[in-house]
Chains A and B, each alone.
Chain A
Amino acid sequence: MLNYLSRRFIYAVLVLLGVNLATFILFFSINTPDDMARLNLGGKRVNQAAIEKWKGERGYDKPLYINTQRQGLEQVTDTIFWDRSVSLLALKFGRPDSESAGDIGAEVATRMVVSLQMALPLFILQVLASTAFALLLAMFRNTRLDFWGVVSCVLMLSISSLFYIIVGQFLFSRVFKLAPISGYAPGWDAFKFLVLPIGLSLLARLGGEARLYRAMFLEEIGKDYVRTARAKGLSEGAVLYRHVLRNALIPIVTSAGSYLPYVFLGSLVFENFFGLPGLGAYVIEAISRQDFAIVRTMVFVGSLLYIATYVLIDIVYTWVDPRVRLS
């Protein structure tokens, strides 16, 4: 176990290094810091002096990879790559490109709490609701309920999540006035602001998830051990809960696990639309301000969380499926 985890950890660091290098090349080699400065300053103020000042303030005036003017180790450490890319590994995020935004590290820390508040209950409810609905359809397979259930799943997954939020906000906030239109308050007050986004997000993903889980259940139901269980005289409910559900949990964990990174990152669209100051909204703000430093940092944070969740999923596997040994 420990051996496996340490190997996974080394691989994770390697992958992170790859992500880091790739994003750096993407952001600094296709376009020079001068282009970014020009875009960020914009308008009339653009002259070479302003660009130099902008670059100087953010440390973009150094060479990209190797600083030939320095000696020894500083040849590598006194570069943009070291400052803005390698230091991400130590979770030093530095300052954003635009003037108004605060320190990235502090922002990430405070906003992650909001994202967690929305996404953690959502994640749990999502798995429960989709599994329950899929189990219901599997229980009544080949009946009218199943048929129309699948039809509504296909219909629901053909509707863009944007429609859910726009219609949902219109109906529940404007017409019925059941929830605030948007906004956020810390502490327990957050509940009333979070109900609507969580509910709508649940609805938006239910169709796709439930259909997928239903297929997984049906695949398990066709297997021999289920026939054996029925032959023993177990009731349909017992077969489903005690046998099928447990075995179908493995693919469900994999599929649900792929959403886990978003538990921390939050849903970009939902947070932005309902005015929740989480990480997702932060990304959208950064994109509209063309703040590359924040986008780059969020790419890194996102992949960090992603890799962490995958190690977590591996550990969950051993709990769900005793046959799986981590080695």
Chain B
Amino acid sequence: MPKFVLLWTDGAIWLLIAALVAYTVTVLRKPQWAANWAKVFRDAPALVSSMVLVLCLLITLLDSVHFRPQLPPVAGAPAAENATPAYASSTRSLLDQVLWDLIQSRESTYSRPLSYLGFTKESLIVNGEVQRVAPRLQFGGKHLADPETQWLGDVAAKAGRGALLGAVFASLLSAALLLAISRVQRLPLAQVWAQVRARSTPVPWHVALASLWVLGLVVGPATALSGPYHLLGTDLTGNDVLFQSLKSIRTAFVIGTLATVATLPLAVTLGLLAGYFKGWVDELIQYLYTVLSSVPNVLLIAACVLMVQVFLDKNPELFETGAERADLKLFLLCVVLGVTGWAGLCRLLRGETMKLRELDYVQAASAFGVSHSRILARHIFPNVAHLMLIVTVLEFSSLILYEAVLSYVGVGVDPSMNSFGGMINLARKEMSRDPVVWWSFAAAFGFMVTLVLAANLFADGVRDAFDPRARAFKRRRAASPARKTA
């Protein structure tokens, strides 16, 4: 039985998931909220990006269950009855367990994507002579007896088989989706299929189906090829780049979610209080956020992170393994981002609260003797919650981008932790090599752009659905004659 370890960010992520589930249940019960969310998914880009985000979320969740595997008893040692089991000194996650082959197939140094040869030439004895040749890789393509002739065919065959598998998965999922739609809408399956094909469903299910197929056709071959080869190559120390990219998704996700959520308590409390009570409370809170926002953000974060570093060096008893230290640092980074980043949302909520408190229903409530705390909680907070949601979703993508910059500056996540920022940082030196080592950089680029683009498009969808002003604008655009398809 392995020993489960609950890291700080794991705990936070699972708490957030619990909150998300609770929120979803509430949304399903409240028709207006459900209507707004339905509007989000009616937007085709938002629908597709939500699928990408869910995929990334699944990877994050897999990577958020950590444990230390039990070590096998030492051979020859006397078998004690109730000896305390020994655990490995490194923390592993479920994702590591799934991708264990990728971790194990470590080469000695760089290799190109899908290659069976090393990138750097070595002196080897070929036919009795010493020659500078690229050596065969230890793991990548080791099943090929005569790689020069077999390689292309093998890659094509494996990719084809993977694509086929992906297609089977995609068709199964599509069928399940169609069945679910027909069950929920109480329509016969054939009619649902006809509607989807005619693209006349309110939610663009045809787009969802198409992206399912694209995902299947990309992920399928990628999975098939990542076993026998290094799909995205290996880095300087021979680690698989695909594995690093997948691990980096969690770091990006944790920073994107935790850091925005960490801004909420301060921003919401202070924003509501300032807008509602006005007077000296307002002055004080305004002063606080003016002070905060007058320090350039990067500098403030750098200063805080430097202090966190000193603090961690001083208190080594807070963590047992290297992974736990890196994780605590990530958690504290999110806290720092939260504590330094609440000014914008606070200002927004203050303004909105000021407007709301003058409205008749609030005046009436206070005339009836409803207490301040109750007015704030029942009458004002629900009416500014959409702003909170929009800002949170918008911030997510910018924080993922921010992480890369912070890592570059040297105040980001721990270097031992996989992150897109770290990958780019290493890739900087690789790009100046000759010949160029481009694949780490390209992998980080591809994954990061996909994630950030998905987050941006989703955020746009959420904003359009929840912001009354954006909606008015959208309607006007839809009504204009320049739009061809009505």
Interface positions of B (Cβ within 8 A of A): 287-288, 290-291, 293-296, 298-300, 302-304, 306-307, 309-311, 313-314, 397, 401, 404-405, 408-411, 420-421, 424, 427-428, 431-432, 436, 441, 445, 448-449, 452-453, 456-457, 460, 473, 476-477, 480, 482-483
Contacts and interface: CB of A to CB of B under 8 A. Distances in A.
Interface majority SS (helix, strand, loop, mixed), chain A: helix
Contacts of B294: 15-16, 19, 303, 306-307, 310
Given A31-B307, A269-B408, 7 more contacts: A22-B291, A30-B310, A141-B482, A155-B453, A162-B404, A163-B424, A166-B431
A15 B290 contact: yes
Contacts of A143: 482
A118 B408 CA distance: 20
B449 A302 contact: no
A308 to B, nearest CB: 10
A38 to B, nearest CB: 8
Contacts of B441: 166
A158 B295 CA distance: 25
B131 to A, nearest CB: 30
Contacts of A283: 298-299, 302, 409
A82 interface: no
Contacts of B456: 154, 157-158
B310 A35 contact: yes
Given A19-B295, A160-B401, A222-B473, A142 B483 contact: yes
A183 B476 CA distance: 51
Contacts of A163: 424, 445
Interface string A296-318: 10110011001100100000000
Contact of B306 (A219, A268, A287): A287
Given A14-B287, A31-B311, A306-B295, A295 B404 contact: no
A62 B381 CA distance: 48
A161 interface: yes
A259 B283 CA distance: 26
Interface string A266-306: 00110011000000000110011010100110110011001
B424 A160 contact: yes
Interface of A: 14-16, 18-19, 22-23, 26-27, 30-31, 35-36, 39, 141-143, 154-155, 157-163, 166, 170, 174, 218-219, 222, 261-262, 265, 268-269, 272-273, 283-284, 287-288, 290, 292, 295-296, 298-299, 302-303, 306-307, 310
Given A268-B409, A287-B409, A30 B303 contact: no
B287 A15 contact: yes
8 contacts: A14-B287, A23-B303, A27-B307, A35-B313, A154-B457, A287-B410, A290-B309, A303-B294
A158 B306 contact: no
A27 B409 contact: no
Contacts, number: 133
A237 B473 CA distance: 22
A306 B313 contact: no
A23 B290 CA distance: 14
Contacts of B298: 268, 283
Interface majority SS (helix, strand, loop, mixed), chain B: helix
A268 B299 CA distance: 10
Nearest to B397: A158
A228 to B, nearest CB: 17
A26 B304 contact: yes
Given A14-B287, A261-B296, A296-B303, A142 B427 contact: no
Closest 3 CB pairs of A and B: A142-B482, A18-B291, A302-B296
Nearest to A302: B296
Contacts of A288: 410
Contacts of B295: 19, 23, 299, 302-303, 306
A21 B287 CA distance: 13
Contacts of A35: 310, 313-314
B477 A142 contact: yes
Contacts of A307: 294
A256 B287 CA distance: 23
B224 to A, nearest CB: 29
B310 A31 contact: yes
A19 B343 CA distance: 14
Contacts of B313: 35, 39
Instruction: Give the residue among A16, A143, A288, A299 with the most B Cβ atoms within 10 A.
Output: A299
Instruction: Give the residue among B291, B409, B432 with the most A Cβ atoms within 10 A.
Output: B291
